[in-house]
Amino acid sequence: MHEADQHDAWSAGRSYDEYMGRWSGAVAGAFLEWLDLPAGLDWLDVGCGTGALSAAVIERCAPDSLIGIDPSDGFVRHAAGIVTDPRARFEVGTAEHLPAAGDTVDVVTSALAYNFVPDRIAALREFRRVTRPGGTVSFYVWDYPGGGVGFIDAFWKAAAALDAAAGGLDEAVRFPFCTAGSLEDEVESAGYSDVEVVALEVPTRFADFEAFWHPFTLGAGPAPGYLASLSTDAGERLRRLLRDQLGGGVVELTARAWAVRAPA
């Protein structure tokens, strides 16, 4: 595991949902509206996590079937407990070695996971392998380099002000390819054409500073994993700095994702 990956704690479903799953769910609706795909398709949700996008597909897209895959056994079990529709099933697996035969789904999709896949080009090739001719490959990732995820950006900027080592853990530094241009180039380099990339933005509102801070204390995800690695004193210094910067009242920020689609 690389130095920067060690805080990517993906396992505790409820903690993850409070930190990130709810915002992914908020983007999912806009994303599926943009994809605008017909009913009756077979879907594969790669890096499904706790099932934010899977649940939205079941709710909005009238699929024939949906398979969610994720390397985290804890997330897969959590998703299966939440998305109980009989058309959906969840399995442990990775994007680079999808547990699906060739030409068996109509839509490969993925939410906020593509950037965490160690071999993204291998994943893009797998997406195409399992998708039937005429199908769609799609995903969304946060706009980390553009500072597009306000609450994560605020966290890492404050963390780096107190701890130089935190600078290298910031997703903006780890995932510089999460820009519209780089994503388009990368997907094309895996052999796709007619790649489309659009920005999708959702409001992220926290009732007060504690509502903003609490999800970071739950341990699920890179920033919460980093916070968990700090001493109590260092964590408290970070909390106070953010509290000074954001104030104690309502914290209103936005989160911007890049949505990508291409014919398989």
Q: Which residues bind ligand SAM (CB under 6 A)?
A: 10, 20-21, 24, 46-50, 52-53, 70-72, 75, 94-96, 111-113, 116-118
Q: How far is the CB of 244 from ligand SAM (least distance, A)?
A: 28
Closest residue to ligand SAM, based on beta-carbon distance: 49
Q: How far is the CB of 196 from ligand SAM (least distance, A)?
A: 20
Q: How far is the CB of 67 from ligand SAM (least distance, A)?
A: 13
Q: How far is the CB of 58 from ligand SAM (least distance, A)?
A: 14
Q: Which residue's CB is nearer to ligand SAM, number 46 or number 100? A: 46
Q: Which residue's CB is nearer to ligand SAM, number 49 or number 135? A: 49
Q: Which residue's CB is nearer to ligand SAM, number 111 or number 242? A: 111
Q: Which residue's CB is nearer to ligand SAM, number 24 or number 136? A: 24
Q: Which residue's CB is nearer to ligand SAM, number 71 or number 146? A: 71
Q: Which residue's CB is nearer to ligand SAM, number 75 or number 192? A: 75
Residue showing tokens 């903690």: 15
Name residue 262's beta-bridge partners: 137
Q: How far is the CB of 47 from ligand SAM (least distance, A)?
A: 3
Q: How far is the CB of 51 from ligand SAM (least distance, A)?
A: 7
